[in-house]
Structures are given as structure tokens and as C-alpha cells.
Amino acid sequence: MSGVNSPAEIADIWINNGVKKANLKTGKMLVLGMLAGVFIGFGAHVFILATSAGGDAFQSMVAKLIGAALFPVGLMLVILCGAELFTGNNLLTLALMDKKITAGQMLKNWCLVYIGNFIGSVVLAFLLAKSGLYTGAVWEKAMAVAVAKASIPFMQAVIRGIACNVLVVLACWFQAGAKDLPGKIFGIWFPIMLFVFAGFEHSVANMTYVPLGIFLGADVSWGAFLLGNLVPVTIGNLIGGAVIIPFAYYYAYKK
């Protein structure tokens, strides 16, 4: 099919992407990581806005679907405008397995991009908290989201993180199969909408959700956020995005 790349071709594309990402300069990794944190934070912001309206169970479900349909703009901005996202960069294990990069290069990218994502996300969360947009039902929703995420039991957060990043890296994989902009947009849209609607946990999105609640006055400490949510969700994201999908596809299409 001339309009799409085959799975084997997508594997080669992501191996080459991994080489490029692993060889970025330190400053570029940080700056592009900060941009990605902001972009994903925009998605978190519109999700809160869309789901803040009250109503019965059906209305709440419709609002959640609308929020899930809006959230993917974050990853669209990351991939199509150019930024570095930790969860998507978990696919660097493909380049590692193909011996195109070293473990040190991969870990450097992950660490610097993760730090950049955190900085960008928290800065955006602070600005949103001071923007005047979070009043009434929107304020209540942001507070409730932060408290709920910080209250997820450790292993449940890990499992939700695994499921989330399986879908996130599949969105990254999916869009690489398209050769035009609309195809890439739809390739990103559906897997990301699915993970949001399903209630899975994304470490970088949570870098906006929970700090935003903290800045707005939620009864959540930074320690509870970092140790109780961010650590287990990141572990799950790594398992889903750096192990399960890359290992399966490398074995299927490259080994």
C-alpha cells in the first residue's frame, strides 16, 4: 500500500528515530523535553475543562469521552511540531536492541527528557493555577483529579501505567505508518483517546494534573505525588513502552 509503511518499515523508522534522539545535544534534550511537558499539559488542561461539568452518570460519561477526544492534541504537538517525550522515547530500546545506540545513550536521553518533561509540566501547572481559569466546578475537578491520582494504590498505579504506555507507544508507532499529515493525526488520536477514556496513568500527564491540584490547594503533598503516583506510574510506563511493545516488535520484524 503506497499510503502507508509496513510494520517492518515502521520498525526501521523507529530505530533511526532512536539514533537521532540518542544523539541530540544535552541542551536540546532538555528544551524539547520541556516543550513536550507543556504540550501534554495542554491536553490535561482541556480534559479537566471538558469533564468539570456536573450531571448524571450518562452526562459524566459523555463529558469524559469529549475530554478523552481532546487530550490527544498533546501528543500531536509533540510528534508533529517536534518535542521529546519520555514515554514515547521508551521506543529507544528498539535502537538499543539493534545495536545502533548504547545503553548509556538511551538512559541519558530518558533521564534528561524526563527532567525536561517535569520542568515544563510543573511550570505550566503553576501558570494555569494563577490564570484565573480554575474557579467553581473547574477548580473542584482539578482538585478531585489530583487527590484521586495521589490515592491510587502502588501496584494499581503500576498496572495502569503499563496499559497506558502500551497505547502511547502504539500511537507513536501507528503514526509512523502514515505518510501524510491526516494519517498521522488519526494514528495518534485513537490510541491516546482510548488510554484517557480507559482511565490509565501517564507519568508526564500526571506531572501537570497533580501539581496543578497542589498549587490550587489540594490536600496532596509533593512526597505523596512523587512516591505514591509518579514513581509507580513511571515504572509501569517503562514496562509497557520500553519492554513489552519494543521487544515484541523487534522479535517479530527485526530479529
What pLDDT score does 240 carry?
Answer: 98
SS3 96: helix
pLDDT digits (tens, 9 = 90+) for 52-106: 977 778 888 899 999 999 999 999 999 999 999 999 999 999 999 999 999 999 9
If we measure between CA atoms, which residue out of 96, 98, 91, 97 comes closest to residue 113? Answer: 91
Asked whether residue 1 carries a pLDDT value surpassing 70, the answer given is: no
Residues 44-54, mean pLDDT to the nearest whole number: 91
Determine the distance from the C-alpha atom of residue 44 to the mean position of all C-alpha atoms in its chain, rounded to a whole number.
Answer: 10
Lowest mean pLDDT among 52-61, 88-97, 113-122, 218-227: 52-61
Residue 178 has pLDDT above 90, yes or no: yes
Domains, the chain, with CATH or none: 7-253 (1.20.1080.10)
The confidence score (pLDDT) of residue 3 equals 79
The mean per-residue pLDDT over the stretch 201-209 comes to 98
Q: What is the pLDDT of residue 57?
A: 81
Question: Does 232 have pLDDT greater than 90?
Answer: yes
Over residues 99-124, mean pLDDT: 98
pLDDT of amino acid 255: 82
Q: What is the pLDDT of residue 80?
A: 97
What pLDDT does residue 39 have?
98
Question: pTM of the prediction?
Answer: 0.95
Give the C-alpha separation, 23 to 14, whole Å: 14
Are 236 and 164 in contact by the 8 Å Cβ rule? The answer is: yes
What's the pLDDT band for 247 if we cut at 50, 70, 90?
very high
Element at 171 (helix H, strand E)? helix 154-176
Angle between helix axes 181-198 and 154-176 (nearest 10 degrees) is 170
Nearest residue to 208 (alpha-carbon basis) of 28, 49, 59? 49
Instruction: Say what the alpha-carbon torsion angle 119, 121, 122, 124 is, to the nearest 10 degrees.
Output: 120
178 phi, psi to nearest 5 deg: -90, 150
User: What pLDDT does residue 53 have?
Assistant: 78
- Give the integer Cα–Cα distance in Å for 91 and 106: 10
Q: Tell whether the model's pLDDT for residue 221 goes beyond 70.
A: yes
DSSP β-bridge partners for residue 4: 178
37 — pLDDT class (breaks 50, 70, 90): very high
- At residue 163, the pLDDT reads 98
Mean residue pLDDT of the chain comes to: 96
